[in-house]
Amino acid sequence: MVAFYIVETNGAGGLFRAMRVRTLVAGAQIMARALWTGSLSFGLVNIPIEIHTAVKDKGPHFRMLRKKDKSRIQFQRVAETDGEIVEWDDIVKGYEYAKGQFVVLTPQDFEKAALKKDRVIDIQDFVESDAVDDRYFDKPYYLLPAKGGAKAYALLREAIKASSRIGVAKFVLRSKQRLAAIEAIGDALILSTMRFRDELARLDEYDFPPATRVEKKQVQLAQRLIEEFASKWDPEKYTDDYRENIMKVVQAKRERKTPDLEPVADPQSAHVVDLMERLRKSLGTKRAFTAKVAKATRAGRKSAVKKSTRKTPTSHRRTAA
């Protein structure tokens, strides 16, 4: 099933409505339509590109229903003063500069304030990739070369890889200027929208504990614990357990069964009485758990081999070529 969105708008910066249309496509895979088309520019180089989403919405999604008959709930635009339903044509946008005081902006006002929509992602700098901390990154997108841009796209990608830098760019998306990072991952160029500096809360706005409160022995013990949990990054290892459990509940209720889920209580309190003692107790738990899983796996394999030996005569076994 493929979902398409039909958008109705009454002008730049104006109100819009989106209707989702679902279409069944049998026996074919359709690449999602580009969210944005234009060019990627640095210096005198312009590469025609498309922006595609890099994030999948896995849900699950729920609808609000009336309890007695499961009728869907609809929302209407209602005026606060008299409770009357308001049509789209009668709605304007207003900026509340004081409580209950508004300045109304027209589509023409938004046009005046809009930045030049030249459909260009303008790379302004190439900076060390480690120089930008994670707080600035927002949402990733895939950049794909448009017609005629494959060779220049590949050239820029390989040059970025070799430089160990990321491009910092500005572009306009949905009538709003965005800051973005351009980096190379595998065969792809990735555009990640970024936050501007004034969108981040400063560290000095919060009271973080100073390092002087931490004892050297505690740090060493904590480092041992970190090393015990050290592992290689494997994104497949981390799954959304809550989503999986919710879908188990949904499936069980469809089949009018009780979901096979057991709540897991955390035996540890958030209040740490003795940090050193808690750290000491934690040491070895990772190794013990890993050893237990490995032992169970070996036992399962031995059991499978024994069963296979009993069921299959030796003369009938197939040997590897």
Q: Average the pLDDT over each of 54-68, 155-169, 271-285 and give the range with the smallest value.
A: 271-285
**What's the pLDDT score for residue 192?**
97
| Distance separating alpha carbons of residues 56 and 53, to the nearest angstrom | 8
Work out the average pLDDT over 275-299.
64
Q: Do both 81 and 149 map to the same domain? A: yes
Question: Can you tell me the distance from the alpha carbon of 264 to that of 243, in angstroms, rounded to the nearest whole number?
Answer: 16
34 is in which domain, residue-wise?
2-199
Q: Quick check: is 210 in a domain?
A: no
Task: Determine, yes or no, domain membership for 310.
Answer: no
Average pLDDT over residues 175-204: 94
* Confidence at residue 218, expressed as pLDDT on a 0 to 100 scale: 84
Phi-psi region of 79 (alpha: psi -120 to 50; beta: other; left: phi over 0): beta
pLDDT tens, residue by residue, 18-68: 434 333 344 445 567 899 999 999 888 899 999 999 998 888 999 999 999
- Whether residues 191 and 130 share a domain: the answer is yes
State the pLDDT at residue 229: 86
249 within domain boundaries: yes
Do residues 49 and 155 share a domain?
yes
Do 70 and 165 fall within a single domain? yes
Query: How many CB atoms lie under 10 A from the CB of residue 181?
Result: 21
- Asked if residue 118 belongs to a domain, the reply is yes
Here the CATH number for the domain that contains residue 82 is: 2.40.290.10
Of 62-66, 157-161, 192-196, 297-301, the range with the lowest mean pLDDT is 297-301
**Claim to verify: residue 75 and residue 102 sit in the same structural domain:** yes
Q: Give the pLDDT confidence score for residue 25 in this predicted structure.
A: 40
pTM: 0.69
The backbone torsions φ and ψ at residue 46, rounded to the nearest 5 degrees and listed phi first, read: -130, 125
115 pLDDT band, cuts 50/70/90, is: low
**Are 39 and 90 contained in the same domain?**
yes
Q: What is the pLDDT of residue 90?
A: 95
204 in a domain, yes or no?
no
The yes-or-no verdict on residue 3 having pLDDT over 90 is no
Peptide bond into 60 cis (omega under 30): yes
According to the model, what pLDDT value does residue 268 have?
59
State residue 241's pLDDT score: 86
Q: How confident is the model at residue 2 (pLDDT cuts 50, 70, 90)?
A: very low
CA angle 10, 14, 17 (to 5 degrees): 65
Write phi, then psi, for 139 (nearest 5 degrees): -130, 135
Q: Is 21 part of any domain?
A: yes
Q: Same domain for 220 and 102?
A: no
Looking at the structure, tell me whether residues 117 and 69 fall in a common domain. Answer: yes
